[in-house]
Structure formats: C-alpha cells, structure tokens
Amino acid sequence: MHTRHTKQWAWPCSVLATAFLLAWLAESTPLAGQPINPQVYKKQFEKAKADADVIAKVRVLAAVCTAAKGEKPRTVTLQVSLQVLDVDKGPVKKNDVVVVSHEVGLPTGPGPRSYGYMGAVRQFPFTPGVKGDVALRWDKERKAYVNVAGWVEQPNNASIPTEVGQAFVAGDPAPKK
C-alpha cells in the first residue's frame, strides 16, 4: 500500500515542483533580447543634467554621416544639427543651431536585433525632424559641444544617413531603397 500511495502522488508533486521552478526562474532571470522600458533613459537624462553646461529642448534639422565602421553590428558617426527650441541652462539661445557628433549602432535585423537601436532613438535626438531634450558639455580640446545625455519622448523613426557623406534633412522624403 505504501508504494501505491507514493506512486499516486509522485506525478502531481513533480508537476508542481516544475511549475514552482519555472515561476522562480521567470522572476529572477530576464528573457534574452527583452526591450528596456524607455523611462530608464529619461531617468538617466535627469541624473546627467547635473554635469551639463547646456540643457535644452531641441529639434534635429539635419544629420550627416561622417564615419562608418564594422560589419555586424555596424556603427555610424553622425554630425547632428540641433535647433534650440527652449533653454533650461547654458549660454545658447532660442533658435541657435548647435552641431554635435553622435555615434549610433545600427540595427542588425528585425525583432530583438533592433532593440539597441530602438533604445538609442530614445537616448539622444539624432533622427531628422525629431524633438528631444539634450544635456551637453563644452569640450575645450575639440572646441565643440559633446553629448552628455538626451531624452526623446516621441521618436519619429525617420531614416538616418548610413553612408559616409550622406546627409538627411528634416522634412526630406524617406530615401528609396
């Protein structure tokens, strides 16, 4: 009788143990390729503002590809022209244009392979026509402003130049592939 009773409960107990193990793993182990909540980037921007010389709301007028490297993942360096819309801190004025160099990792494919790029469009305004917030610092050696942080609440998913010398301007139609 003892063995029959044990066999009777063995299967339900193993199913229950497996369910608890899977529930525990789901809570403690993040899924591979899971996108990051964009609010994380807003919090990073809020923290980084303390170290900035300029804090402003801007609109991207144009982006020019000045360098490209790598195969997969491929990275491009963009010179981004930012029109100042509103100033919170710093020596820039409304309607000034500030040019900032910004490096972007391009997506390697659809789905999880685009998550890095989709995060990047939230972290700094670099797509033509998009509006966002920037925190910039003056680099004495380069004699230019450099990116400290940024926040783009509503990305526009506009195309960016990916070949050296290519330039895209806000309001341009999407390039034909």
Query: Is 45 in the same domain as 88?
Result: yes
In this prediction, residue 28 carries a pLDDT of: 42
Query: Is 2 in the same domain as 66?
Result: no
Query: Is 118 in the same domain as 43?
Result: yes
Which residue type occupies 149? A
Query: Is 132 in the same domain as 90?
Result: yes
* pTM value surpassing 0.85: no
pLDDT single digits (tens) 114-168: 778 888 889 999 999 999 999 999 999 999 999 999 999 999 989 999 999 999 9
**Residue ranges making up the domain that contains 47:** 39-169
Asked if residue 175 is part of any domain, the answer here is no
Query: Is 22 in the same domain as 85?
Result: no
With tokens 């804090």, the residue in question is: 55
Dump the DSSP string for 56-109: EEEEEEEEEEEEEE-SSS-EEEEEEEEEEEEEEESS--TT-EEEEEEEEEPP-S
Asked if residue 114 is part of any domain, the answer here is yes
In this prediction, residue 174 carries a pLDDT of: 67
Whether pLDDT at 50 is above 70: yes
- Specify the CATH number for the domain of residue 106: 2.40.50
| Closest listed residue to residue 122, CA positions, set 97, 153, 88 | 153
Whether pLDDT at 17 is above 70: no
pLDDT single digits (tens) 22-41: 454 444 444 445 556 778 88
Q: Which of the residue ranges 38-47, 73-82, 155-164 would you say has the lowest mean pLDDT?
A: 38-47
Query: Is 88 in the same domain as 158?
Result: yes
Query: Is 22 in the same domain as 43?
Result: no
Segment 92-111 shows an average pLDDT of 91
- Predicted confidence band at 171 (pLDDT cuts at 50, 70, 90)? confident
In this prediction, residue 7 carries a pLDDT of: 58
Query: Is 24 in the same domain as 46?
Result: no
Asked if residue 174 is part of any domain, the answer here is no
Q: Say how many domains are in the chain.
A: 2
Report d(CA 99, CA 17) in Å as an integer: 59
In this prediction, residue 35 carries a pLDDT of: 58
